[in-house]
Amino acid sequence: MASSNATLRAFLYGLPGVDRVGADQRAATLGTRSIKTTAKAEAIDLAISMVDLTTLEGADTPGKVRAMCAKAVRPDPGEPSVPRVAAVCVYPDLVACAASALSGSGVKVASVATGFPSGRTSLEVKTADTALAVAAGADEIDMVIDRGAFLAGDLARVFEEIVAVKQAAGDAHLKVILETGELATYDNVRRASWLAMLAGADFIKTSTGKVSPAATPPVTLIMLEAVRDFRAATGRMVGVKAAGGIRTTKDAIKYLVLVNETAGEDWLDPAWFRIGASSLLNDLLMQRQKMATGRYAGPDYFTLD
């Protein structure tokens, strides 16, 4: 199937289309689910455990990363029942720092790689970037696809790059960032999802967070449909990561509802669904405290790491 642009095109363009208005409506309807009381409490803890706590700034320093790792392991120092997050996500040069800070904690180290965020570099650099991050201790690699090649119709190139990066990543889990904001259409999101899964992605991820729009409920819905259908077709389960723009508990819970009612409960697990975020974690903690105490929380009571 992956032998040429023609065969890939024949397959990917043979997938059912996506009607944008219908997909938007389905996502909006699921967004009206009202998750209250016990369900909300469970959802908050689940969401915390699915967070890839992320810092991807030019100004990132070892100090900043260490502080974030501490937060990842113990999000609310005053409340030991709060679960740890799933992973921290950093640039490759800070992987070693994160790995030592998280050693033995169970929190994974994820590294963006492959010339993140634009991916505009050679395959050699991309694979080297990946291999170095893994060597430095990354458990997970968040690669970007070549959107230019995808839009130019060079599907085989995108495919082969994923295969190569997967190989370079070795045992590390490979998350493939589609950058859906640059793919523009939902049809492309579906095709890119399948392309990544066929090439061996362990996860498909919406966005880098550097392009607007980043994750949206309908885009995530389409990717959840893709992993659902891919498992039905091949038996292999692929995870989904929604990244960028998810800042509130209300938003996070909407994504959990999307997962629950689209891919199903099998995906309601940090092994299969992640939320890439930074400020979201504190909002989840504030909402959690509100549920525990009955009082609205204030930001001064949560650490800014």
Partner 1 sequence: MRFEYAPAPESRDVVDIKPSYGLFINGDFVDGSGTAFKTINPASEEMLAEVAAADEADVDRAVTAARKAFESWAALPGRERAKYLFRIARIIQERARELAVLESLDNGKPIRESRDVDLPLVAAHFFYYAGWADKLGHAGFGADPRPLGVAGQVIPWNFPLLMLAWKIAPALACGNTVVLKPAETTPLTALAFAEICVQAGLPPGVVNILTGAGATGAALVNHPGVDKVAFTGSTEVGRLIARSVAGTGKKVTLELGGKAANIVFDDAALDQAVEGIVNGIFFNQGHVCCAGSRLLVQESIAEELLDALKRRLGTLRLGDPLDKNTDIGAINSAEQLARIRSLTESGELEGAERWTASCPLPDKGFWFPPTLFTGVAQSHRIAREEIFGPVLSVLTFRTPAEAVEKANNTPYGLSAGVWTEKGSRILWMADKLRAGVVWANTFNRFDPASPFGGYKESGHGREGGRHGLEAYLDV
Partner 2 sequence: MSETGRLAVRKTYKLFVGGAFPRSESGRSYVVSSSKGDFLANAARASRKDARDAVVAARKAFPGWSGATPYNRGQILYRVAEMMEGRRAQFVAEVVDADGVSARKAGELVDAAVDRLVWYAGWSDKIGAIQGAANPVAGPYFNLSTAEPTGVVAVVAPPFGPLLGLVSVVAPVIVTGNTCVVVASERAPLPSITLAEVLATSDLPGGVVNILTGHTGELAPWLAGHMDVNGIDLTGCDPDLARTCEQEAAENLKRVLRPAKTDWLADPGLDRMTTFLETKTVWHPVGI
Of 71, 108, 175, 205, catalytic: 205
Specify the residue, 31 or 62, whose C-beta has the smaller distance to partner 1: 31
CB of 17 to partner 1, least distance (A): 4
250 is catalytic: no
**Cβ density class 224-257: b for 16+ within 10 Å, e for less:** bbbbbbbbeeeeeebbbbbbbbbeebebbbbbbb
* Least gap, CB of 187 to partner 2 (angstroms): 9
Residue 256, contacted partner among partner 1, partner 2, none, CB below 5-8 A by kind:
partner 1
- State which residue, 154 or 261, has the beta carbon closest to partner 1: 261
Please identify which of the residues 52, 142, 202, 283 carries the catalytic annotation.
142
Nearest distance from residue 137's CB to partner 2, in Å?
A: 42
Indicate which of partner 2, partner 1, none lies near residue 33 (CB less than 5 to 8 Å, by partner kind).
partner 1
Give me the least distance between CB of 27 and partner 1, in Å please. Answer: 11
Q: Which does 185 bind (CB under 5 to 8 A by kind): partner 2, partner 1, none?
A: partner 2
**Residue 79 interaction partner, one of partner 1, partner 2, none, beta carbon < 5-8 Å per kind:** none
Query: Which is nearer to partner 1, 38 or 212 (by Cβ)?
Result: 38
Cβ closest to partner 2, residue 20 vs residue 120: 20
Contacts (Cβ under 8 Å, ≥6 apart) of 300? none
For partner 1, the closer of residues 22 and 153 by Cβ is 22
Question: Which entry of partner 2, partner 1, none binds 184, CB below 5 to 8 A by partner kind?
Answer: partner 2
Shortest reach from residue 158's CB to partner 1, in Å: 23
User: What are the residues binding partner 1 (CB under 8 A)?
Assistant: 16-19, 21-23, 25-26, 32-40, 42-43, 46, 222, 225, 256-257, 260-261, 265, 268-269
Q: Is 205 a catalytic residue?
A: yes
Choosing from 71, 166, 241, 254, the catalytic residue is 241
Residue closer to partner 1, measured from CB, 39 or 123: 39
Residues in contact with partner 2 by the rule CB under 8 A: 19-22, 24, 184-185
Q: What is the 3-state secondary structure (H, E, C) of the chain?
A: CCCCHHHHHHHHCCCCCCCHHHHHHHHHHHCCCCCCHHHHHHHHHHHHHHEEEECCCCCCCHHHHHHHHHHHHCCCCCCCCCCCCCEEEECHHHHHHHHHHHCCCCCEEEEEECCCCCCCCCHHHHHHHHHHHHHCCCCEEEEECCHHHHHCCCHHHHHHHHHHHHHHHCCCEEEEECCHHHHCCHHHHHHHHHHHHHCCCCEEECCCCCCCCCCCHHHHHHHHHHHHHHHHHHCCCCEEEEECCCCCHHHHHHHHHHHHHHCCHHHCCCCCEEEEECCHHHHHHHHHHHHHHCCCCCHHHCCCC
Beta bridge pairs of residue 175? 142, 203
Q: Give least dist CB 162 to partner 1, A.
A: 24
Task: List residues with catalytic annotation.
Answer: 142, 205, 241
